[in-house]
Structure 1
Amino acid sequence: MTKQKKWSERFESNLHPSIARFNASIGFDIKLLEYDLTGSIAHAKMLAYTEIITEGEAQQLIQGLEQIRQEYHNGEFTPGIDQEDIHLAVERRLIEIVGDVGKKLHTARSRNDQVGTDIRLYLREQIDQIRRQLRSFQQVLLDHAQNHVKTIIPAYTHLQRAQPISLAHYLLAYFEMAQRDWERLGEIYARTNISPLGCGALAGTTFPIDRHYSAKLLGFEGVSRNSLDGVSDRDFAVEFLNAASLIMVHLSRISEEMILWASDEFKFISLTDSCATGSSIMPQKKNPDVPELVRGKAGRVFGHLQGMLVLMKGLPLAYNKDLQEDKEAIFDGVATIKSCLEAMIIFLEEGIEFRQERLNQAVTEDFSSATDVADYLAVRGVPFREAYNLVGKLVKTSLASGRLLKDLPLEEWQDLHPLFEADIYEVITPKQVVAVRNSYGGTGFNQISQAIARAKVQMESS
C-alpha cells in the first residue's frame, strides 16, 4: 500500500493507518466509477459552457476522464485504500494524466453533491434494469396463465381448503403484485432523477454555474431546489429499498407456495432437474433450492431497509460521514433483488411442471363447493345466513359418514331442504363452481380471459 499522506495542507500529520482503512470507501464505491466519470464530464462541460474554464481546458479534462474509463475497463486503474474514495482516486489520476488543469475539475463542486449525483445516476440505471426484469417475470406468469385458464386448483384461506379457482387466476394474482412493483419503481425513478450537482458542500457556490445545463447533459428531469436538502437527501434510496422489500415479499410468497406445492403432501408441481438439487445423504430427495433461497434472501433486503431508516433518523443537516454507509445497503439490495428475479424467472419458466392429474383430483376431494350450495338456496329465496347454517350442518354429517357432497343421494339433499333438485350435482362440480364466479376480478373463465387481455395491454406499456 502507498505510504499514507497528509489529507491536505490543513493537517500537520498523517492519518493513522488503521483510521485510514476505517475511513476508506474505495473498496465498495468503486462501483460508482462509471457514474463518477460521467458526472465529472458533464461538470467539465458546464464549467466551459459558463466560461468558468476554457473550452480547451474542458477538452483536456474530458479526454483525461475518458482515458481513466478505458484504463478501468482494461484493468489498469485499480485504486487502493490509500485513495480513500473513488472521487479522490479519479481526481488524482486525472492530474497525473493532464497535469495542473486536472486540479480545475473540482471547481464549484464538493464531494457531497458529487456522491449524491453518482448514486442517483447508478440507482436510476438499476431501477430501469429491475423494471425490465419485472416485465420478464410477469411474462412468464402470463404465459402460464394462458395455458391454464381451464386448469382448476384448490385455493386456500388459513391454509385450509376454501374454494376451487382457475390456476390462471392464481398466477395473475402475482402478475398484479408485480405490476404494482413495476409502477412503484417508476414513481421512485422520478424522484431519483433529480440532480444535486451544483449544491456544493451544502450552500451552493459563488461561481456562475448553470445547474440546469449539467442536469440536462446527465438526463435528469430537474435539479434539487434546496442545496442543504440536495446533498443530504437519501429519501430516494430508502424508497428504493422499500420497493425492493415489497418485491422480495412477493417473490417470497410465491416461493413459499412453490415449496409447499412441490411437497409430497401437496404434489401440485414437480421439480425439473435444471432447478433442483439433491441431498448429501438421502438419495430420494429433490429439493426446491431456488424458492428456498429467494425466501431466505428476502430478510437480507428487509435488513438493508431497516439499516437505511436507522442511518437517516438522527442526521442533522447537511452531509455527515454516516452517509458513507448508504452505498453497501443500496449495492447489495440491488444485487440481491436482481439475482432473485433472475432465478425466479428461470425457476417458473423451466423449473416446474404442473401435475394436471393431481390437480384434477385435488379439487374433487373436499367440501370447497359448500358456499355454492348455500348460494343455491339463497338464490331461491332462503336467507343466506339460514342457508349457510343448513350447509354447515350438511358438511358435519357428511364428514361423520365419510362422504363428500357429491356422494349424497338426492333424498338427503331434499331432506335438508325441499328446494334442492337434481341440478345441485352440476352446481357443485369444480368447473361450474369456477365458471359462475363471473364478478369483475373473479375466477370465472370469462373474467380470466378479460384479465389476460388487460395484462397484455399493461405489458405493452413498458
Structure 2
Amino acid sequence: MTQGNTWSDRFETALHPAIAQFNASIGFDLELLPYDIQGSITHAKMLAQTGIITQAEAQQLVQGLEQVLREYENGDFQPGVEEEDVHFAVEHRLTEIVGEVGKKLHTARSRNDQVGTDIRLYLRDKINKIREDLRQYQRALLNLAENHVETLIPGYTHLQRAQPISLAHHLLAYWEMAQRDWERLGDVAKRTNVSPLGCGALAGTTFPIDRQYTAKELGFTDIYRNSLDAVSDRDFAIEFINAASLIMVHLSRLSEEIILWASQEFSFVTLKDSCATGSSIMPQKKNPDIPELVRGKTGRVCGHLQALFLLMKGLPLAYNKDLQEDKEGLFDAVKTTQASLEAMTILLSEGIEFRRQRLQEAVAEDFSNATDVADYLANKGIPFREAYNLVGKVVKTSLAAGKLLKDLTLEEWKAIHPAFEEDIYTAITPQQVVSARNSEGGTGFQQVRYALSQAQSLMNEN
C-alpha cells in the first residue's frame, strides 16, 4: 500500500517522503504482527457470527491472515516504510492474497481499538513469560540458599559491618523481592487483560458487533465499558514498566553486592570464567560484566517509565498520535527485563562460587557480635540500655588495645561487669550469634530452613 492511497479521497497528494518516514511505525511495530493477526482473525469471525459479512468471506479472511503470518514467520513478508504501520501492512498483504474481500476486514474497527488490542495481547503474553523467568531466577536463588544455610556472611547497615547472618538468609531476601515482583506482574496482567476491541476510533460503531464474543475468543476476562477510555488508556503499560523497573532495581541491588563481593577487598566470591570477562591490557583481571550490565540497564528501563509518564500527562481524550511513542519503550523494557533475568539466573546457577573460608574469616574479624554481649547482660537482668553503654565502652577500649571481644580474658570481662561468666565466649561465636536469632523471619538457622521450605511450597503451589 503506497502513501498515495493509504488515506481516503479527502487527500489529493501523498506524504512528503521525509514526513512519511517520520510518521511511520513499521520499523518497530512489526513486533505486534502475530498479535495483530490473532485479533484480526477473531474480528473476522465475529463479523460473520453477527451477519455483517458472510461465513464464506470470513473463511477467506482467516485463511488469508494465516498465510500472512506464515510468510512473516518464514521471512517472506518484510514490509517497508511505505506501509506506515503493521496494521496497514497486514491488511494490504491480505488484500493481495484474497482480493476485494480483504477490504472488508476493517469493517466496524479502527486502528485505535486495533492497536490497543494488539498491545494488550502482546503484553499479556510477555508478562506470562517474564513471570516464568522470575521463577527460574527464584529457583537459582533457592538452590544457592539451600547450600549455604550455615555459611555465614557479614551483614551490613550503612555498608558498615553490623551483625553476622546466614548467607542463605541474605539470598532469600532477594527471593522475597522476586516474589513480590511475580505477584505484582500478576496484578498488572489482570488490568492488561481487558478488551478494547469494538470501541472503534473513540465512540463505538453503528454495526451490530458482539464485543463479548471477541473478548472471550481472545481470552480477555472483561471489556472496556467506555469507548473513549478504551482507545486512550495506557495505564496498563505504565503499570507494567513500573513493575519491570522494580524487577530491574532488585536485580541491580544484587548486582551491586556481587560486584563488591568479587572485588579483592571483599573476596567473598569467585566469578567463573563462563560468566566473567578480562581486561584488554591487564591480564590478571576478571571483570563482573554481567552484574555491571544489569546495573546499567536498570536506568534504561526506569527511563522508559518516566518517558511513558510524560507521554501521557498532557493527552486529551481520546486517541492521539503521541501514543505511537508508547511501543519502543515498552518493547525494550520487556526485552531488557527478560535478558537481565536470564543473565542473572545463569550467573547464580553456574557462574559464581562463594569462598567459605574467606567468609568464615570475615565474620570473625570484627565487632559485629557486640549486640550479643549486650543481649547476654540483658538476659542476666541488666537493663539493656545500661548493658548497651557498657559494651560500647568495651569496644572502645578493645579497639585501643588492638583486641577483638573474643580475645578478652575472663578477668577483663568481669572487670566490665561481674555477671560475665565463661559462657560469654560461646555466646559471641559467630555461629551462635546467628543461630540465636531465631525470632520469626530472623537469620537463625531454624528460621532460615523454615523460610526455605515455605518458599519452595509457595512456588510449587503457584
Q: Quick check: 2:3–2:83 contact (8 Å CA) kept in 1? A: no
- Residue 139 of structure 2: aligned partner: 139
Tell me the residue number matched to 1:316. 316
Aligned positions of 1:351-390 closer than 5 A: 351-390=351-390
Kept after mapping to 2: 8 A contact 1:438/1:444:
yes
Match of 2:71 in 1: 71
1:165 shift after superposition: 0.4
**Shift in Å at residue 7 of structure 1?**
2.8
Residue type at the aligned position of 1:346: I
Residues 5 and 15 of structure 1 are in contact (CA less than 8 Å); yes or no, is this contact kept in structure 2? no
The separation in 2 between residues aligned to 1:369 and 1:92, in whole angstroms, is: 73
Tell me if 1:406 matches 2:406: yes
Structure 1 position 239, deviation (Å): 0.3
1:97 partner letter:
I
Alignment-mate amino acid for residue 226 of structure 2: N
8 Å contact kept, 2:150–2:167: yes
CA distance in 1: counterparts of 2:231 and 2:4, whole angstroms: 28
- Distance, in Å, in 2 between the alignment partners of 1:82 and 1:439 is 66
Q: 1:205 to 1:2 in 2, by over 3 A?
A: closer
3-state DSSP of counterpart to 1:364: coil
> How many aligned positions are there?
462
> Residues of 1 paired with 2:301 and 2:192: CA distance?
19
Q: Secondary structure at the match of 1:460?
A: helix
Measured on the aligned residues, the alpha-carbon RMSD in Å equals: 1.0
Question: TM-score, with normalisation over the residues of structure 1?
Answer: 0.99
Residue type of the partner of 1:39? G
**Match for residue 35 of structure 1?**
35
- The C-alpha deviation readout for 1:188-225, integer Å capped at 9, x for no partner, is 00100000000100011111111010011101111111
Alignment TM-score, normalising by the size of structure 2? 0.99
2-side partners of 1:6 and 1:378: how far apart? 82
The alpha carbon displacement at 1:284 in A equals 0.5
C-alpha deviation, 1:8, in angstroms: 2.5
1:253-402 correspondence to structure 2 within 5 Å: 253-402=253-402
User: Which aligned pairs between 1:66-105 and structure 2 lie closer than 5 A?
Assistant: 66-105=66-105
The aligned amino acid for 1:8 is S
The runs of 5 or more residues in structure 2 that have no matched partner are none
Q: Which residue of 1 aligns with 2:118?
A: 118
2:201 aligned partner: 201
Give the distance between the partners of 2:91 and 2:404, measured in 1 at CA: 78
Task: State the distance in 2 between where 1:352 and 1:100 align.
Answer: 61
Residue type of the partner of 1:457? Answer: S
Whole-Å separation in 2 of the counterparts to 1:136 and 1:190: 22
Look up the match of 1:423.
Answer: 423
Q: 1:350: Cα distance to partner?
A: 1.0
Residue 304 of structure 2 contacts residue 333 of structure 2 at CA under 8 Å; is this kept in 1?
yes
The one-letter amino acid of 1:228's match is: L
Give the conservation status (yes or no) of the 8 Å contact 2:4–2:13. Answer: no
Distance 1:59 1:2, change over 3 A: closer
Q: Does 1:460 align with 2:456?
A: no
Mark the runs of 5 or more structure 1 residues left unpaired by the alignment: none
Partners of 2:361 and 2:6 lie apart in 1 by 76
- How far apart are the structure 1 equivalents of 2:415 and 2:288? 49
Deviations 1:366-413 (A, max 9, x none): 000000000111111111111111000000000000000000000111
Aligned-residue offset at 1:277 = 0.6
Q: Secondary structure at the match of 1:439?
A: coil
2:224 matches 1:224: yes
Paired residue type of 2:150: K
Structure 1 SS opposite 2:146: helix
Aligned 8 A contact 2:3 2:14 in 1: no
Structure 2 distance, partners of 1:73, 1:31, is: 12
| Native 8 Å contact 2:23 2:84 kept in 1 | yes
Amino acid at match of 2:422: A
- 1:461 is displaced (CA, Å) by 3.0
Paired residue for 2:152?
152
